Structure 1
Amino acid sequence: MAETILVVNAGSSSIKFELFSVDTDDQLDKIIKGQIDGIGTRPRLFAATSKGTLLSDQTWAPEDVCAVPAALEKLIAFLRPQIGGELPAAVGHRVVHGGPDFGEPVAVTSSILSELERLIPLAPLHQPNNLAPIRAVLERRPHLLQVACFDTAFHRGHADIADRYAIPERLYAEGVRRYGFHGLSYEYIVSRLPHIAPDIAGGRVVVAHLGSGASMCAIADGRSVESTMGFTALDGLPMGTRSGQLDPGVVTYLMRAKGMRLEDVESFLYKECGLKGLSGISNDVRDLLASNAPEAKLALDYFAYRIALFTGMLAAAMGGIDAFVFTAGIGENGPAIREAVIRRLEWLGLRVSFNANNSNAVCISGEGAKVPCFVIPTNEELMIATHTLRVARRREAAAVREKRA
């Protein structure tokens, strides 16, 4: 059986995974995709081949898969027969926050894990879930290579002026700064641009990663210049249930006038706001598009409006714009949202082609467009697998050099 790389993206009650084979030229090919969800309540493993052939649809009693370590054991037990009884060569993990010190993927050791755990206050709802499977593998299979791939890493090259808030230096030194997220997605888009649009690959590109979590990034010459997300994944665009950009005074008002505790405010801003809060109907764009309620229209209009506003900001950061890219779930599959955004950006030189947009074409620019607009599916899992394989190969090369020495 060929060497394999397992990619894991863990949530509070689920583990999404993809398994990649590695050929003799180190090319990666996805062979299995699935997830274990309902951990602790109604655990279920669903897995299929890359071509959609069902491999498993299995459930267990809650007490049998009550936490992430047990779910991982079930996952490995399922995967081993699929890959000739072996373990994967390495496991790559999506980790939301790398803080100020982790600017590239890293092989995880116990000390590295401790450093990443200290970043939990910077991403309290994401980081613990991301680290749980890493900890479980370290405890049970310490010799299995694990690689942490950070959503913040792509943005670590920002100019100092873009990373700072107008707060005292001591807080910046502690790590209170603008990080940016969805970096694995943006990095993948950068890798695809030379193949899809070589004329603008080295130019000034605004990428809109629009999903249940949403952000935008200014990319110049393949590097992140500015992002709509800052210190946490709450900032910037309104999202499915997250507020997006918010006056800090709103937080103090909620605590002082409404008597909300810190935990209540945090849960409120992450889970009760965004499109869900604006509409009072749903956090799902599909539900809002299907609704005739004025509140649904308000939420969608607000979403498009904020995307257009931030496009202006990001273009200013680069001194212009040469192309615009939509990606992620809504960006890839929401022609109505794309059209609404482009209509608001006609002043900037964007034009939409009705037919191309509604058929989800790669280029959706209309006649007379001065700034081309693209729809490029993202692939964060492939990016994680790529990074994981590179770390593995570097370790192998270092071991060879050490042996020769």
Structure 2
Amino acid sequence: MAGPALHVLALNSGSSSLKFGLYRVDRRDAVARLCGEAEAIGHSAGVLRLRDADGTVIHQETAAVADGVQAFRRIVRLLREARVPAPDAVGHRIVHGGPQLRTHAVIDGTVLARLEAACAFAPLHVPAALAVVHAAQARFADLPHVACLDTAFHADLPEVSRVLPLDRALQADGVYRYGFHGLSCASILASWPDAPARLVIAHLGSGASVTAVCDGRSVDTSMGMTPSGGVMMATRCGDVDPGVLAWLAREKGMDAPALERLVDHRSGLLGVSGISGDLRRLREAARTEPAARLAVAMFVLSVRKQIAAMAAVLCGMDALVFTGGIGEHDAALREAVCAGLAWAGVRPGPGAAPADAPPAAGAHCQVRIIPTQEERQISRHVYALVAGPAR
């Protein structure tokens, strides 16, 4: 039996975007009714897009969107005009739940307090998401709201991966590896229930991470205590010598906010190129700009190194999955990353492989492209918590 169906509004807050979807969910599946995104939030040329159940764009508008709250209000208006069923529950992607919230949870006063405390761990993401939570609670005051955590997928990391090589006393303050893009990783496993035992997931977008999955469980991941570590990203530095930060504080007088602005907003592809954090723009610029070529090459190498590291954690790699905006759509990037992984049995073939392709000839590691479905995964988690086993 499928059980009772609920309509779930999934809200996926990013640092400069708000993706959303209205899903009809039962015990068997989650089916999109409408979905879309508000992009370039905070810029003068923001885009709001709405798609139907088939993925066809049925509405698009370009206008300045000041923040996630304004984007949410426009999304509610579009859903109302589309005459789709009203939601029965609302799910919110929360990047970091902090040390006191490690599992998805219905939002109440205690959960809100723990999320407020988690802002210190991800100031680029959590405050913006909480602003949307408050706006959604005001708009849908009678509905249950659920916090769906990116960190939950990694909550049971083995100690050897979870513990950071710092004074062990700091663990009491929550200083350890959390891991992120967990909703994306969970959606990959939901899309590929027969995935092989040793799986490496490369989620590549403006934020990027690589995760080692063994028998469906996260055993290591590139991001650490915050979403700033690991792979070089659009504007985030990824892993960097911690002595550099100490030097900047001592010799340049940078305080914590200045260091955060540097590592989160002025580093990565943007920092190296001095042009943009957008890989598409850098490819065009690379024809004439050496700094753009260097930034692209560094990104490729950073991703390849993290994939190799996760293969070492797993003692081999049965499959490599590319997902996220760059991972799904940039064939040249996938080819460049895989070109240095032949020793691991990776043979992507021309243009890399679609989601259902068999391994390329001579390969023992499958390379797949599986679209991330974070909003759909949010709706599943909401249903599990709100519908309950007895409903």
Residue equivalent to 1:344: 340
Equivalent AA in structure 1 for residue 219 of structure 2: V
Note closer, same or farther for the CA distance 1:34–1:265 as it changes in structure 2 (3 Å cut): same
The CA distance in 2 between the partners of 1:56 and 1:216, in whole Å, is: 32
Is 1:317 equivalent to 2:313 in the alignment?
yes
User: Which 10-residue stretch deviates more, 240-249 or 73-82?
Assistant: 73-82
Are the equivalent residues in 1 in contact too, given 2:237–2:263 (CA < 8 A)?
Answer: yes
Is 1:109 equivalent to 2:103 in the alignment?
no
How far residue 260 of structure 1 moved from its aligned partner, in angstroms, is 2.4
Give the 3-state SS of the residue equivalent to 1:122 in structure 2: coil
User: 373, 376, 382: which one pairs with 1:379?
Assistant: 373
How far residue 71 of structure 1 moved from its aligned partner, in angstroms, is 4.9
User: 7, 10, 34: which one pairs with 2:13?
Assistant: 10
Note closer, same or farther for the CA distance 1:11–1:323 as it changes in structure 2 (3 Å cut): closer
Equivalent AA in structure 1 for residue 125 of structure 2: H
The CA distance in 2 between the partners of 1:148 and 1:344, in whole Å, is: 39
Is 1:128 equivalent to 2:127 in the alignment?
yes
How far residue 262 of structure 1 moved from its aligned partner, in angstroms, is 2.1
The CA distance in 2 between the partners of 1:106 and 1:37, in whole Å, is: 27
How far residue 289 of structure 1 moved from its aligned partner, in angstroms, is 2.2
How far residue 53 of structure 1 moved from its aligned partner, in angstroms, is 4.5
Residue equivalent to 2:247: 253
The CA distance in 1 between the partners of 2:67 and 2:306, in whole Å, is: 40
Note closer, same or farther for the CA distance 1:161–1:49 as it changes in structure 2 (3 Å cut): same
Note closer, same or farther for the CA distance 1:329–1:141 as it changes in structure 2 (3 Å cut): closer
Residue correspondence of structure 1 range 2-401 to structure 2 within 5 A = 3-11=6-14, 14-22=17-25, 27-36=29-38, 45-51=48-54, 52-55=56-59, 57=61, 68-69=68-69, 71-83=71-83, 87-139=86-138, 141-194=140-193, 198=194, 201-290=195-284, 291-292=286-287, 293-354=289-350, 356-357=351-352, 362-363=356-357, 365-394=359-388, 397=390
Are the equivalent residues in 2 in contact too, given 1:353–1:364 (CA < 8 A)?
Answer: no
The CA distance in 2 between the partners of 1:310 and 1:34, in whole Å, is: 31
Give the 3-state SS of the residue equivalent to 1:178 in structure 2: coil
Note closer, same or farther for the CA distance 1:177–1:369 as it changes in structure 2 (3 Å cut): same
How far residue 35 of structure 1 moved from its aligned partner, in angstroms, is 3.6
Equivalent AA in structure 2 for residue 275 of structure 1: L
The CA distance in 2 between the partners of 1:241 and 1:38, in whole Å, is: 14
How far residue 227 of structure 1 moved from its aligned partner, in angstroms, is 0.2
Give the 3-state SS of the residue equivalent to 2:131 in structure 1: helix
- 1:100-140 residue CA offsets vs partner (Å, 9 max, x unmatched): 33333111012211111011100011000111121233345
Give the 3-state SS of the residue equivalent to 2:230 in structure 1: coil
Are the equivalent residues in 2 in contact too, given 1:241–1:270 (CA < 8 A)?
Answer: yes
How far residue 36 of structure 1 moved from its aligned partner, in angstroms, is 4.5
Larger radius of gyration: 1
The CA distance in 1 between the partners of 2:40 and 2:367, in whole Å, is: 39
The CA distance in 1 between the partners of 2:167 and 2:292, in whole Å, is: 41
Q: How many aligned positions are there?
A: 383
The CA distance in 2 between the partners of 1:203 and 1:13, in whole Å, is: 35
How far residue 285 of structure 1 moved from its aligned partner, in angstroms, is 1.4
Unaligned runs of 5+ in 1: 401-405
How far residue 362 of structure 1 moved from its aligned partner, in angstroms, is 4.5
Are the equivalent residues in 2 in contact too, given 1:364–1:375 (CA < 8 A)?
Answer: no
- 1:249-297 residue CA offsets vs partner (Å, 9 max, x unmatched): 1111122222223212211111111111122222111122222132222
How far residue 89 of structure 1 moved from its aligned partner, in angstroms, is 0.2
The CA distance in 1 between the partners of 2:320 and 2:139, in whole Å, is: 45
Equivalent AA in structure 2 for residue 7 of structure 1: A
Are the equivalent residues in 2 in contact too, given 1:49–1:55 (CA < 8 A)?
Answer: no
Are the equivalent residues in 1 in contact too, given 2:98–2:114 (CA < 8 A)?
Answer: no
Are the equivalent residues in 2 in contact too, given 1:321–1:371 (CA < 8 A)?
Answer: yes
- 1:312-345 residue CA offsets vs partner (Å, 9 max, x unmatched): 2212222222121111111111111111111111
- Aligned-pair identity in percent equals 39
Are the equivalent residues in 2 in contact too, given 1:275–1:283 (CA < 8 A)?
Answer: yes
The CA distance in 2 between the partners of 1:14 and 1:361, in whole Å, is: 26
The CA distance in 1 between the partners of 2:16 and 2:107, in whole Å, is: 23
Are the equivalent residues in 2 in contact too, given 1:37–1:45 (CA < 8 A)?
Answer: yes
Are the equivalent residues in 2 in contact too, given 1:48–1:56 (CA < 8 A)?
Answer: no
Are the equivalent residues in 1 in contact too, given 2:6–2:383 (CA < 8 A)?
Answer: no
Question: More helix by proportion, 1 or 2?
Answer: 1
The CA distance in 1 between the partners of 2:136 and 2:294, in whole Å, is: 46
The CA distance in 1 between the partners of 2:100 and 2:91, in whole Å, is: 19
Are the equivalent residues in 1 in contact too, given 2:43–2:66 (CA < 8 A)?
Answer: yes
Note closer, same or farther for the CA distance 1:314–1:68 as it changes in structure 2 (3 Å cut): closer
Give the 3-state SS of the residue equivalent to 1:118 in structure 2: helix
The CA distance in 2 between the partners of 1:45 and 1:346, in whole Å, is: 41
The CA distance in 2 between the partners of 1:143 and 1:50, in whole Å, is: 27
Are the equivalent residues in 1 in contact too, given 2:8–2:90 (CA < 8 A)?
Answer: yes
User: Which 10-residue stretch deviates more, 99-108 or 125-134?
Assistant: 99-108
Give the 3-state SS of the residue equivalent to 2:192 in structure 1: helix
User: Which 10-residue stretch deviates more, 140-149 or 363-372?
Assistant: 363-372
The CA distance in 1 between the partners of 2:242 and 2:144, in whole Å, is: 42
The CA distance in 2 between the partners of 1:72 and 1:308, in whole Å, is: 37
CA RMSD of aligned residues (A): 2.6
